């Protein structure tokens, strides 16, 4: 069985080349061919010694994930469904904007966290993706979009680990993938332009701050533990106070002087003025009076199994104003790609569930969500 070179960061590829009896600089050349030029044919790599190319042909390959479907939204958003084997498929989404191109990348086939408002969580969890499967989404998207747009310039400027899965529950595969995104010989992105989104895996947040401190977005979605326990079940393990303390610790290493809290606006559930006031109290209790976080309010993208509704736009505006007037930077996310089910919380792919998620979610839906003051 040959080795997929997408599985390696530069350090790993260097070790692999040394096993082949090659010098370290050969790994850098190979790495550039793969990630900067999108090459998958070793014969294209003309500055590599012919003897190395022959070795690689018999022992290695560079293979993208098979594309099951591609959908293009009216607003230019592109969603791909990639086959990752054994009946599983994951989704990636490219979001074009005037000043940047963002790729939303999946880290797991499914998700074990099971957030009430997320379509992926309702499908359950099958397995973690490998480093190569995470990177293959970026590799394919970047180089296929360059061909589509007829350019040699970089198309994807930002990566958000906000696709299917909880990235920090796949830590060992995530970190090498992040390092490739940041590497000047790879995609050369700044740490500010690579974001990991987490539902709050506190120990792994601390590890990420030491191993690869990129931008961090935390899925908060509730201002108190009883409500968050129901919306984000991981809260029972890492409650809000513990999570926010970890956020403050991360700030010492973060590429920016703030973290982002994601907050999905759910009609009658977490969108009342009292909830905004509770959020303000949480923020003011930390940060020594400095501005240390911003809120990104996300209009809920309904799907039938959730039993939840989107907050009316007037209520979202009112909620945002309460936070802003308290000195908290607050934005309302513009919904993109919802006509192709590519918007936030809509990514579902195909998952061969190993966790009885449908049964668990059905039980949750029988528990009425009430406001908790």
Q: Are residues 121 and 47 in the same domain?
A: no
Q: Are residues 72 and 17 in the same domain?
A: no
Within-domain flag for 372: no
Quick: pLDDT tens for 159-203: 999 999 999 999 999 999 999 999 999 999 999 999 999 999 999
Alpha helices by DSSP H, the chain: 10-19, 24-35, 50-59, 119-123, 131-149, 171-182, 202-211, 225-231, 240-251, 273-284, 313-325, 357-365
Does the structure show a pLDDT above 70 at 362? no
Quick: pLDDT tens for 49-98: 999 999 999 999 999 999 999 999 888 999 999 999 999 999 999 999 99
Q: Are residues 43 and 103 in the same domain?
A: no
Q: Are residues 108 and 55 in the same domain?
A: no
Quick: pLDDT tens for 11-24: 999 999 999 999 99
Quick: pLDDT tens for 241-271: 999 999 999 999 999 999 999 999 999 999 9
Last residue of a domain, one of 20, 45, 61: 61
Q: Are residues 75 and 161 in the same domain?
A: yes
Quick: pLDDT tens for 201-228: 999 999 999 999 999 999 999 999 999 9
Average pLDDT over residues 102-112: 94
pTM, entire model = 0.91
Long-range contacts of 35-38 (CB under 8 A, 24+ apart): 35/139, 35/180, 35/183, 35/185, 35/186, 35/187, 36/185, 36/186, 36/187, 38/139, 38/142, 38/143, 38/146
CATH number at residue 223: 3.20.20.70
Element housing 166 (H / E): none
Within-domain flag for 370: no
Q: Are residues 37 and 121 in the same domain?
A: no
DSSP 229-282: HHHSGGGGTS-HHHHHHHHHHHHTT-SSS-EEEEEEEBTTTT-SHHHHHHHHHH
Task: With cut-offs at 50, 70 and 90, classify the pLDDT of residue 361.
Answer: low
Does the structure show a pLDDT above 90 at 365? no
Catalytic residue list: 91, 344
How far is the C-alpha of 254 from the C-alpha of 262, rounded, in Å?
17
Q: What angle do CA 351, 354, 357 make, to 5 degrees?
A: 80
Q: Are residues 100 and 48 in the same domain?
A: no
Q: Are residues 41 and 95 in the same domain?
A: no
Last residue of a domain, one of 40, 61, 82: 61
Show the domain range for 307. 67-365
| Domain count along the chain | 2
Average pLDDT over residues 113-130: 86
User: Whose CA is closest to 164, among 346, 358, 308, 360?
Assistant: 346
Quick: pLDDT tens for 286-345: 988 889 999 999 999 888 878 899 999 999 999 999 999 999 999 998 776 566 564 544
Within-domain flag for 373: no
Q: Are residues 217 and 182 in the same domain?
A: yes
- How confident is the model at residue 366, as a pLDDT? 44
Q: Are residues 42 and 93 in the same domain?
A: no
Q: Are residues 25 and 71 in the same domain?
A: no
Within-domain flag for 371: no
- How confident is the model at residue 120, as a pLDDT? 75
Q: Are residues 227 and 356 in the same domain?
A: yes
């Amino acid at each position: 069985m040959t080795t997929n070179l997408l599985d390696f960061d530069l350090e790993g590829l260097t070790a692999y080349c040394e096993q082949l009896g090659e010098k370290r600089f050969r790994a850098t050349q190979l790495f550039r061919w793969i990630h900067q030029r999108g090459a998958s044919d070793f014969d294209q790599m003309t500055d590599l010694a012919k003897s190395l190319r022959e070795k690689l042909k018999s022992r290695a390959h560079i293979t993208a994930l098979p594309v099951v479907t591609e959908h293009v939204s009216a607003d230019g958003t592109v969603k791909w469904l990639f086959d990752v084997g054994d009946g599983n498929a994951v989704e990636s989404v490219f979001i074009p904007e005037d000043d940047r191109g963002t790729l939303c990348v999946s880290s797991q086939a499914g998700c074990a966290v099971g957030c009430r408002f997320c379509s992926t969580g309702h499908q359950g969890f099958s397995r973690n993706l490998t480093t190569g499967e995470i990177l293959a989404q970026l590799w394919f998207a970047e180089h296929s979009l360059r061909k589509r747009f007829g350019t040699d310039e970089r198309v994807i400027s930002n990566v958000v680990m906000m696709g299917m899965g909880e990235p920090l529950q796949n830590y060992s595969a995530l970190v090498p993938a992040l390092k490739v995104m940041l590497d000047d010989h790879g995609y050369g992105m700044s740490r500010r332009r690579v974001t990991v989104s987490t539902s709050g895996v506190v120990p792994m947040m601390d590890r990420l701050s030491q191993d690869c401190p990129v931008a961090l977005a935390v899925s908060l979605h509730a201002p108190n533990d009883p409500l968050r326990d129901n919306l984000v079940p991981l809260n029972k393990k890492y409650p809000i106070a513990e999570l926010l303390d970890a956020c403050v610790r991360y700030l010492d290493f973060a590429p920016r002087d703030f973290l982002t809290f994601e907050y999905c606006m759910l009609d009658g559930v977490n969108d009342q003025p009292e909830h905004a006031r509770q959020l303000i109290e949480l923020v003011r209790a930390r940060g020594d009076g400095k501005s240390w976080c911003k809120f990104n309010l996300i209009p809920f993208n309904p799907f039938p199994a959730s039993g939840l509704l989107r907050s009316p736009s007037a209520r979202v505006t009112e909620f945002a104003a309460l936070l802003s007037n308290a000195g908290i930077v607050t934005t309302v996310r513009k919904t993109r790609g919802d006509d192709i089910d590519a918007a936030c919380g809509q990514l579902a792919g195909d998952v061969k569930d190993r966790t009885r998620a449908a049964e668990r979610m059905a039980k949750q839906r029988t528990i009425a969500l009430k406001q908790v003051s």
